[in-house]
Amino acid sequence: MQDTKPRGRLFRIWDSDVAASFRRSPVAIVSGLVALVIVLAAVFAPWIAPTNPYDPSSLNLMDGFTPPMQPNAFTGNSYLMGTDNQGRDVFSTILYGARISLFVGVSAVLLAMVLGISAGLVAGYRGGWVDAVLMRVADVQLSFPSILIALLIFGVARGIIPPTQREAMAIWVLIVAIGLSDWVQFARVVRGATMVEKGKEYVQAARVIGVTPLRILIRHILPNVMGPVLVIATISVALAIIAEATLSFLGVGVPPTQPSLGTLIRIGQQFLFSGEWWILLFPAVTLLALALSVNLLGDWLRDALNPRLR
């Protein structure tokens, strides 16, 4: 009999195979750090950013088009990453923009997860016609590019919401649009894993005791199918951030008054050919770094959780 005392949760996490694989992987460590820095910077933007880009009173149009690290010709103000056409500090707008991009990305994925996991659990556990209907809906949705679906949902929402509310609701519409376009992959993975788990004896043991199906799904099966879900969720956050940027770039995303990274890129690309490169470059690099690091983390997590690749 082994005589290891149950040790603390933190120790168990640190000692786990996943943590060990993280410590061994330089790619995972670097992308983890990059993602962490961007996330922290975004979360604490109000305390880090030198100016508040949403406050019109702090803006000075004379500050417009200041190049990075050079004093403005009129005001003499100098900015780390320069300013945009309206004189907003690019560094500050990036911090605030990353905040919105991350909020939209994470919320959309959470929505997709809730929908997809529920559908997948029910379809996988029940089987039969419930499964057939849910999965055919998923198949149909998969045959369209998800950005088109997001655009469609966005268009429908625009029709429903009164014009006065549109600006305030824009972020929520975006979240729903991206979330609804992304639930399918969660549903498929969870369905497959659920079908495997439900045949295992621990589920039969619960059924013999008389545990209700809902409780079996939530307390027994869900924790055991979360591994692959986490992998997809991580990669999906990166994709959702890009989707948000794409929609915002197309002009159907968040309004310019509350710019996300995508909105900033859209604004910046207008000035690329007139020489004000910094307005595009810095938001674009931030978006790239964020999406890439989150994506690489997802890749690493997939390998770390797959025992066959270890």
Q: Give the one residue of 202, 257, 270, 288 binding other proteins; rule: CB under 8 A.
A: 202
- Binding of other proteins by 1 (CB under 8 A): yes
Q: Which is nearer to other proteins, 76 or 210 (CB)?
A: 210
- Which residue in the block uniquely carries the two structure tokens 């027994």? 220
Report, in Å, the least distance between residue 36 CB and other proteins. Answer: 24
The answer to whether the CB of 96 falls within 8 A of the CB of 45 is: yes
Helix, coil or strand: residue 83: strand
Residue 69 touching other proteins (CB under 8 A): no
Q: Does 128 bind other proteins (CB under 8 A)?
A: no
Among 58, 70, 165, 204, binds other proteins (CB under 8 A): 204
DSSP state of 6: P
Evaluate whether 255 touches 167 at the Cβ level (below 8 Å).
Answer: yes
> Distance of CA 267 to CAs 201, 272, 310, Å?
58, 10, 45
| Tokens, residue 136 | 């055919």
CB of 2 to other proteins, least distance (A): 7
Helix H or strand E segment including 116: helix 90-126
Within positions 220 to 239, which residues make up the interface with other proteins, using CB under 8 A?
Answer: 220, 223-224
String of DSSP letters for 282-309: HHHHHHHHHHHHHHHHHHHHHHHH-GGG
Q: What span, in angstroms and rounded, lies between the C-alpha atoms of 106 and 259?
A: 17
Considering only the stretches 39-47, 187-195, 218-226, 289-297, report the one whose residues sit in contact with other proteins under the rule CB under 8 A. 218-226
Piece in contact with other proteins (CB under 8 A), picked from 3-11, 39-47, 57-65, 121-129: 3-11
Hey, which residues between 10 and 29 contact other proteins (CB under 8 A)?
Answer: 20
Q: Quick check: 88 and 259 in contact, CB under 8 A?
A: no
Contact between 200 and other proteins by CB under 8 A: the answer reads yes
* Number of residues near other proteins (by CB under 8 A): 20
Question: Which of 13, 37, 62, 205 touches other proteins (CB under 8 A)?
Answer: 205
Cα 267–chain centre separation: 22
Binding site for other proteins (CB under 8 A): 1-2, 4-6, 20, 200-202, 204-211, 220, 223-224
